[in-house]
Chains A and B, each alone.
Chain A
Amino acid sequence: MDMKDSNPTSARRTFFTQASAGVALLALAPGVRLVDLALAREQDEPASATQRWGLLVDVDRCVSGCDACVSACHTEHGLDGNERPQTDAQWIRKVDLVDNNTGHQLSLPLMCQHCEEPPCVDVCPTGSSFRRADGIVLVDKHTCIGCRYCMMACPYKARSFIHEDLTGQKTHAPRGKGTVESCTLCVHRVDRDESPACVEACTDVGHQALVFGDINDRNDPLATQLAETTSRELRADLKLNTAVRYRGL
């Protein structure tokens, strides 16, 4: 049976997802999947390793001086800050690069690279840093003791420590003094089938330098682009297999 040719009615789709048949079907027919199944996860269904969420940053499309992704992230998670740039949290930042030999200029966003082998997870003494089944690297702030060893270990300087008391947190982004945090790949949005805020903002301003999707899903636009063009990991020498890839670097 070729799943790709079938055009499931919504009733069938409901049946499939309710029966949690996605995984079983994938196991029966490897490499073949229904497009809908990759997207929809029921509210009470755990994140699964059949997916791996990732990002492609197209450096050629990223505009120097534009920080739409950064502001979107700050708004989404309520990263207001206290006008203390050294201690205020930054989950995503714009980095400007100048080639030392040619003078060529580049600009790109940098955030948690959601490694498959994350050093932050390795070093965390309490297991508070963890990698979710679908590849998103998170901090369980309930068990974070604030030792900051993960910040020492992260090659991307992707993490921030909360240096002071916070108020007015968002319901979907709990954060508080004394714990470490970083980009969650907007896990609360991903869980309801939406793209991360930075990706949405980049698309909204018309730059389309960020593509979000499921690396494991061949039919996903992200996986397609990754398969068709050259992209690279940052600090590829560390062999961390990051879920964030850069093109044009």
Chain B
Amino acid sequence: MIWSGLIECGSKRRSRARRIVAITLGLAVGMGLTGSYAEVNQPVFPSARGDQCVEPVDVMRRDHFEFLKHQRDKTVHEGIRTPRHSLAGCIDCHADKDPQGRFLPVNAKGQFCQSCHVYTAVKIDCFSCHAARPSERVSQSP
């Protein structure tokens, strides 16, 4: 409840922010300042393997880090290595290959993690330690 409230709050604030941006922009144009403003493009990233994600897409977009964090604690502290919400599991499905058939890191430019995180301006701290490519031993098959 609180969370949904906060999200609504956030979106209200965002729409207000958008209005402010629009007004400022309008003023700028009106004043004859032709700046090099470019529309920020929606992130584009390679499609994943398999038919569907481990959770619905909208849930994953919002909560993927909650899942990852929960799983991370279970894996590190209890040794539970189920692939469903594991980072390795994500990478197995979402890593793209280059023309030579080699896996690309998911945090490379334009790849799955990086493209959205650049768009939302959220820095990822996973891959200074974690492998960003699937291991030889893929934990999920499709």
* A/B: CB atoms within 8 Å of each other: yes
Which of B26-34, B42-50, B109-117, B128-136 faces chain A?
B128-136
Which of A87-95, A167-175, A238-246 faces chain B?
A167-175
The answer for the CA separation of A176 and B82 in the assembled complex, in Å, is 23
Per a CB cutoff under 8 Å, which of A43, A172, A187 touches B82?
A43
Which of A44-52, A101-109, A210-218 faces chain B?
A44-52
Assess the A171–B88 pair: CB atoms within 8 A. Answer: yes
A45 and B129 in contact, given A142-B72, A170-B135 (Cβ under 8 angstroms): no
Q: What residue of chain A has the Cβ atom nearest to residue B105's Cβ? A: A167
Hey, which chain B residues are within 8 Å of A44, CB to CB? Answer: 80, 82
Which of A6-14, A131-139, A201-209 faces chain B?
A131-139
Which B51-107 residues have a C-beta within 8 angstroms of A? Answer: 72, 74, 76-82, 88, 91
The answer for the CA separation of A41 and B80 in the assembled complex, in Å, is 10
Per a CB cutoff under 8 Å, which of B80, B81, B129 touches A176?
B129
Assess the B81–A138 pair: CB atoms within 8 A. Answer: no
Assess the A140–B77 pair: CB atoms within 8 A. Answer: yes
Decide yes or no whether A165 CB sits under 8 A from chain B.
Answer: yes
The answer for the CA separation of A134 and B74 in the assembled complex, in Å, is 14
Per a CB cutoff under 8 Å, which of A140, A171, A191 touches B79?
A191
Decide yes or no whether A235 CB sits under 8 A from chain B.
Answer: no
Give the size range of A's interface with the partner: 20 to 34
The answer for the CA separation of A177 and B130 in the assembled complex, in Å, is 11
Number of A-B contacts (CB under 8 A): 56
The answer for the CA separation of A232 and B71 in the assembled complex, in Å, is 38
A138 and B129 in contact, given A43-B81, A44-B82, A171-B88 (Cβ under 8 angstroms): no
Q: What residue of chain A has the Cβ atom nearest to residue B74's Cβ? A: A46
Which A103-137 residues have a C-beta within 8 angstroms of B? Answer: 130, 132-134
A43 and B80 in contact, given A141-B129, A176-B128, A176-B129 (Cβ under 8 angstroms): yes
Using a Cβ–Cβ cut-off of 8 Å, how many residues does chain B contribute to the interface with A? 18
Decide yes or no whether A179 CB sits under 8 A from chain B.
Answer: yes
The answer for the CA separation of A184 and B137 in the assembled complex, in Å, is 20
Assess the B134–A133 pair: CB atoms within 8 A. Answer: no
Per a CB cutoff under 8 Å, which of A46, A130, A134 touches B80?
A46
Hey, which chain B residues are within 8 Å of A130, CB to CB? Answer: 77
28 contacting pairs across A/B (C-beta < 8 A): A41-B79, A46-B79, A47-B79, A130-B77, A132-B77, A138-B76, A140-B76, A140-B77, A142-B72, A142-B76, A166-B128, A169-B131, A170-B131, A170-B135, A171-B130, A171-B134, A171-B135, A171-B137, A172-B135, A174-B129, A174-B130, A174-B131, A176-B128, A176-B129, A187-B79, A188-B81, A190-B79, A191-B79
Which B residues form the contact surface with A (CB < 8 A)? Answer: 72, 74, 76-82, 88, 91, 128-131, 134-135, 137
Which A residues form the contact surface with B (CB < 8 A)? Answer: 41, 43-47, 130, 132-134, 138, 140-142, 165-166, 168-172, 174-177, 179, 187-188, 190-192
